[in-house]
Amino acid sequence: MVLLAGLATGCGARDDPATAKAAGCPAEIEPTESMGISWAPRSSRLAFSTVEKGIFVIDARTCVVKQVTRARLHFTPDWSPDERQLVFDRTLVPGSRSDLLISDLDGGDARVLTHGSDDRFPSWSPRGDLIAFTRRADIYVIQPDGRGLRRLTSTGYNVQPDWSPDGTAIAWACDPGICTMDADGSHARRLFEPSTGGEFGNPAWSPDGRSIAFDGPVSYDPPVLMIGPAQGGRIRMLPRLAPGALWDVAPTWSPDGDEIAFIGDHGSRHELYIVRPNGSDVRALTESS
């Protein structure tokens, strides 16, 4: 998951859900250099993070945008299974340690889940009973009420956990590859590793549990989206998808598995896109104004 800086109120971009109207895609936003996204588990909504203005939700069908939080340095949102809440990480000042927070979708006060231990990349389990996250360089889990903290990894550099759809396993970026383990931390194994320089990142389990999408370099070129079998095996690389983009990163699957949302990095700005898993039907959700 990656980050955004500022939003405009044009072409469906609205703060107030009562006044939001389906104005069509793509939604106009102010130019941004970083963004983070997560597709809701049961609907067409995606949450995305911003540097300066908080967390927003965009509908993939209408591109109507709703603001959820209103503070700067809120990153990497993920949905509760019932889609009533978002968990995300918060940095108080650039370069400082980060906490995990939980906010209702109605934009009420956010509740602090963890306190100042450099906690990032939260991922809510499908059953709703645990949240996996990165603390420094290891994967932990915690209950949504703040109890039951457990460490699942202890060696190497481990970030960006993502739950399997049945909640029995976790995929994560294990530097430089993609690994999986059982939900209790046992049976860890490396599935994919780049054959040249660079590293794979941002794993996202498909809704049927058969595939894992992620991003990574081709030879020494910038990252593209890749899809591999959840048990390991041959990787399928998607072509460069976002028109004019330097990188395609941070995949997240639609609930039916028919589409993948991702970030197109255009250098000075990032945009949200959607594509079929076979690389067809690319369309933009946002367009910097």
pLDDT given for residue 51 in this prediction: 77
Q: What is the 3-state secondary structure (H, E, C) of the chain?
A: CCCCCCCCCECCECCCCCCCCCCCCCEEECCCCCCEEEECCCCCEEEEEECCCCEEEEECCCCCEEECCCCCCEEEEEECCCCCEEEEEEECCCCCCEEEEEEECCCCCCEECCCCCCEEEEEECCCCCCEEEEECCEEEEECCCCCCCEECCCCCCCEEEEECCCCCEEEEECCCCEEEEECCCCCCEEEECCCCCCCCEEEEECCCCCEEEEEEECCCCCEEEEEEECCCCCCEECCCCCCCCCEEEEEEECCCCCCEEEEEECCCCEEEEEECCCCCCCEECEEEC
pLDDT given for residue 32 in this prediction: 66
- CATH number at 27-288: 2.120.10.30
pLDDT given for residue 265 in this prediction: 85
pLDDT given for residue 13 in this prediction: 37
* Nearest partner of 80 among 108, 49, 99, 101, judged by Cα: 101
Q: How far, CA to CA in Å, does 38 sit from each of 100, 231, 269?
A: 16, 23, 19
Q: How far apart are the C-alpha atoms of 27 and 20, rounded to whole Å?
A: 12
pLDDT given for residue 153 in this prediction: 97
pTM for the predicted model, two decimal places? 0.90
**Local confidence pLDDT in tens for the 289 residues of the chain:** 443 333 433 333 333 332 233 358 999 876 666 678 999 999 999 999 877 778 899 999 999 999 998 888 889 999 999 999 999 999 888 778 899 999 999 867 889 999 878 999 999 999 999 999 999 999 999 999 999 999 999 999 999 999 999 999 999 999 899 999 999 999 999 999 998 888 999 999 999 999 999 999 987 788 999 999 999 999 999 999 998 888 999 999 999 999 999 999 887 788 999 999 999 999 999 988 7
Domain spans of the chain? Answer: 27-288
For residue 217, the tally of other CB atoms under 10 A from its CB is 19
Q: How far apart are the C-alpha atoms of 150 and 55, rounded to whole Å?
A: 27
pLDDT given for residue 93 in this prediction: 80
pLDDT given for residue 113 in this prediction: 97
